[in-house]
A = this chain, B = another copy of it.
Amino acid sequence: MTFTYDYARPALTVDCVVFGLDDHDLKVLLIERKLKPFRGKWALPGGFVRVGESIDHAARRELKEETGLEKVFLEQLCTVGNPLRDPREHVVTVAYYALVRLSDHRVHAATDAAQALWFSLDDLPKLAFDHDDILNTAHQRLRSKLRYQPIGFELLPKKFTLRQLQALYEIVLNRELDKRNFRKKILKMGVLEETDEIESDVAHRAARLFRFDRQAYRRMTRRGFHFEI
């Protein structure tokens, strides 16, 4: 079956920059392409948008199909449509970025992906298409957005210690923060709820666990509160 239109149309795809955090590193999920063009090269997971599905849906679907990831925090990044970015024809792609904690997800390649692997951000292969550019844009966006939106909590367990939270900010922002100032600042905001639990299985004094209070955050946001680290 084929589809015929009165005017030529660019193809439309979605691509996902998935950031994953473990205890020390920020990584990004890439797939090895099974098909031409760029067969055997590493690329962002993604694929064609189907008629009748929203682009957000397409992004989630492709991410799940190719890497097995689902139910992740996913946000639109930008759309790139240089007509020469794909050697075959004019392909416009809507890029998304996602945040996950590595320990929560097992990835497994499927469909058009020969492999799906986490790469450290400072040890990346050359990517297919203009995916390097997209990845850089996503990394910058992650850094700047982390500072004024509480998206970092997507990268942590439900309950976490302040030390974990601080480490997250230090890894993504790539600079050290002062422990006391950090704690004062984040606690004063009132978006963290102290639980009565402490971490376990540590070989030293256990730290208190906190939880992000999304309700409080939303309430405060409506009243003009501005989150910022």
A51 contact from B49, B52, B83, Cβ within 8 A: B83
Tell me the chain A residues, 1-59 only, with Cβ under 8 Å from chain B. Answer: 2-12, 48-56, 58
**Contacting pair A54 B76 (CB below 8 A):** no
A53 x B4 contact (CB < 8 A):
no
Partner of A10, one of B2, B12, B76, B83: B12
Report if A4-B7 is in contact (Cβ < 8 Å); known contacts: A51-B83, A81-B94, A94-B79: no
Q: Is A139 an interface residue (CB 8 A)?
A: no
Interface residues of A in 44-91 (CB under 8 A from B): 48-56, 58, 76, 78-83, 89-90
CB contact between A12 and one of B48, B52, B53, B92 (< 8 Å): that residue = B92
Contacts of A54 on B, CB cut-off 8 Å? 81-83
Copies of this chain, whole number: 2
Contact with B along A90-134 (1 / 0, CB 8 A): 101010000000000000000000000000000000000000000
Contacts of A7 in B (CB 8 A): 3, 48, 50
| Contact B3 A2, beta carbon cutoff 8 Å | no
Most B C-beta atoms less than 10 A away, residue of A49, A76, A81: A81
Residues in B whose Cβ lies below 8 Å from that of A2: 4-6
Determine which of B3, B58, B80 lies in contact with A8 in the assembled complex, contact meaning CB atoms within 8 Å.
B3
CB-CB under 8 A from A9, the residues of chain B are: 3, 5, 9-12, 51
A8 & B50 in contact (Cβ 8 Å cutoff) = yes
Contacts A/B (CB < 8 Å), 5 sampled: A2-B6, A3-B5, A9-B51, A10-B49, A12-B92
A87 to chain B, nearest CB (A): 14
Contacts of A89 in B (CB 8 A): 51
A58 CA to B82 CA in the complex, in Å? Answer: 11
